[in-house]
């Protein structure tokens, strides 16, 4: 049988079937189409970047951020975006995982000729993830890690004097987040989780140039370009809830590859009702560390207080309470009250959440 020609250039031999479209393409057309799609995401609307902007690439050493560093450096030169690029890495203090992946980032620093800044949880918060997991166990550790990393990236960006952080979140990550927010009924987050750029009054601008890039294509790109990246999963248990969304999404993708983009488009079509927008809290500064926050304490300090209170796992279990508010206080689940008149459901009172009441409650209150 004669070799299949590339469906784009029609001359070279097709070597890749694009997971996103099913098109059979040659290697060089795959590189071109992948990079052009990222460029299109970057220039869409008003464009992600301004000329002369200082941009930090959140670099974990994994496939997504490694490919992002490579593609962004390439496009910056090819299209003359005029960006000043940096690598920014957060060392969460996970022995046997992040220490190894940071070695990869150091290699990328040399390969791409980009300045690198590394900040650690230990220096910023006085806690490593190893220490946190030894205290709280594996169940909620992803929440600590996510909250601390978000703030650590902001602090690193401020130290670098950059205006903008880009991360390697890909189309699969975003579609999973849409599904998770639907499953949790978290309407406020559902309304904003598909935005390619987020920016608050006092927060550093964040963008996801891989919003429409499929994870499988990112892996393919890294493989064919022979990029150096670290491919081991985090040694601590993954976010269980996201895991369900991920498995569901992978099943959907195997039946219909467009499911990932379709879910993102559905998420983009959600518009917050005025009442929901009004319910969102005004921002202030954290009373403990001065970071931007919607409460007296920022999320990281609320978690740190719980850790400092030294609650052990049995204490965590005791603090579990099904009446805890749903994320952003959007709803409560009415509970059957045996003392109420027949068939009457009582709505639990709204609870003011304080981190000192227990880590579990603090974690639930800020669930990502």
Ligand X SMILES: Nc1ncnc2c1ncn2[C@@H]1O[C@H](COP(=O)(O)OP(=O)(O)OP(=O)(O)O)[C@@H](O)[C@H]1O
Where do contacts with ligand X occur on this chain (CB under 6 A)?
A: 58-60, 62-65, 88-90, 92, 149, 167-169, 173
Minimum CB distance to ligand X, residue 292 (Å): 19
Minimum CB distance to ligand X, residue 33 (Å): 21
CB 276 within 8 A of CB 187: yes
SS3 sequence, 35-92? HHHHHHHHHCCCCCCCCCCEEEEECCCCHHHHHHHHHHHHHHHHCCCCCEEEEEEEEC
Minimum CB distance to ligand X, residue 154 (Å): 12
CB 171 within 8 A of CB 264: yes
Reading the block at residue 245, the tokens are 């969304």
Return the number of the residue (65 or 73) whose C-beta is nearest ligand X: 65
Reading the block at residue 97, the tokens are 């995982």
Return the number of the residue (217 or 357) whose C-beta is nearest ligand X: 217
Q: Is 174 annotated as a binding residue?
A: no
- Of the candidates 289, 361, 356, 291, the one whose C-alpha atom is nearest the C-alpha of residue 323 is 361
Return the number of the residue (234 or 362) whose C-beta is nearest ligand X: 234
- Of the candidates 314, 290, 295, the one whose C-alpha atom is nearest the C-alpha of residue 137 is 314
Q: Is 109 helix (H, G, I), strand (E, B) or coil?
A: helix
Q: Is 101 annotated as a binding residue?
A: no
Minimum CB distance to ligand X, residue 170 (Å): 7
Q: How far apart are CA 84 and CA 115, in angstroms?
A: 10
Return the number of the residue (64 or 253) whose C-beta is nearest ligand X: 64
Return the number of the residue (81 or 97) whose C-beta is nearest ligand X: 97
CB 76 within 8 A of CB 185: no
Minimum CB distance to ligand X, residue 310 (Å): 26
With the C-alpha atoms ordered 298, 303, 307, 312, is the resulting torsion angle positive or negative?
positive
Q: How many CB atoms lie within 10 A of CB 30?
A: 23
Q: Is 342 annotated as a binding residue?
A: no
Minimum CB distance to ligand X, residue 90 (Å): 4
Q: Is 200 annotated as a binding residue?
A: no
Half-sphere exposure of 171 (CA within 13 A, CB side): 26
Q: Is 84 annotated as a binding residue?
A: no
Minimum CB distance to ligand X, residue 88 (Å): 6
- Of the candidates 258, 264, 60, the one whose C-alpha atom is nearest the C-alpha of residue 177 is 264
Minimum CB distance to ligand X, residue 228 (Å): 13
Return the number of the residue (23 or 197) whose C-beta is nearest ligand X: 197
Return the number of the residue (31 or 97) whose C-beta is nearest ligand X: 97
Q: How many CB atoms lie within 10 A of CB 267?
A: 21
129, burial (CB in 10 Å: exposed 0-12, middle 13-18, buried 19+): buried
Return the number of the residue (91 or 357) whose C-beta is nearest ligand X: 91
Q: How far apart are CA 53 and CA 69, in angstroms?
A: 16
Please give the residue whose beta carbon sits closest to ligand X in the complex: 62
Which positions make up the binding site for ATP?
A: 58-60, 64, 90, 168, 173
């Amino acid at each position: 049988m004669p070799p299949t020609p590339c469906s784009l250039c029609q001359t070279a031999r097709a070597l890749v079937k694009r997971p996103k479209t099913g098109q059979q393409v040659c290697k060089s057309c795959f590189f071109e189409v992948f990079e052009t799609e990222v460029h299109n995401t970057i220039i869409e609307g008003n464009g992600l970047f301004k000329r002369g902007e200082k941009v930090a690439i959140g670099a974990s050493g994994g496939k997504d951020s490694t490919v992002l560093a490579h593609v962004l450096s390439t496009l910056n030169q090819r299209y003359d975006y005029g960006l000043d690029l940096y690598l920014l890495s957060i060392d969460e203090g996970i022995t046997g995982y992040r220490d190894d992946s940071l070695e990869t980032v150091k290699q990328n620093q040399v390969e791409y000729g980009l300045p690198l800044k590394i900040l650690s949880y230990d220096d910023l918060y006085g806690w490593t993830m190893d220490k946190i997991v030894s205290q709280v166990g594996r169940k909620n550790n992803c929440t600590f890690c996510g909250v601390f990393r978000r703030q650590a990236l902001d602090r690193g960006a401020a130290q670098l004097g950059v205006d903008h952080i880009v991360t390697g979140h890909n189309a699969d990550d975003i579609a999973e987040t849409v599904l998770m927010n639907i499953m949790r009924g978290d309407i406020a987050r559902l309304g904003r989780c598909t935005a390619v750029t987020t920016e608050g009054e006092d927060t550093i601008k964040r963008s996801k140039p891989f919003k429409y890039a499929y994870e499988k294509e990112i892996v393919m790109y890294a493989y064919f370009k022979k990029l150096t990246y670290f491919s081991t999963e985090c040694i601590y248990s993954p976010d269980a809830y996201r895991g369900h969304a991920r498995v569901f999404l992978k099943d959907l993708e195997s039946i219909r590859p467009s499911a990932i983009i379709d879910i993102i488009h559905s998420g983009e079509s959600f518009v917050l009702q005025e009442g929901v927008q009004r319910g969102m809290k005004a921002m202030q500064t954290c009373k403990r560390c001065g970071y931007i926050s919607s409460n007296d304490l920022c999320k990281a300090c609320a978690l740190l207080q719980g850790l400092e209170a030294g609650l052990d796992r049995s204490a965590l279990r005791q603090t579990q309470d099904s009446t805890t508010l749903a994320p952003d206080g959007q709803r409560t689940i009415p509970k059957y009250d045996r003392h109420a008149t027949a068939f009457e459901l009582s709505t639990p009172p709204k609870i003011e959440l304080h981190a000192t009441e227990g880590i579990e409650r603090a974690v639930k209150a800020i669930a990502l």
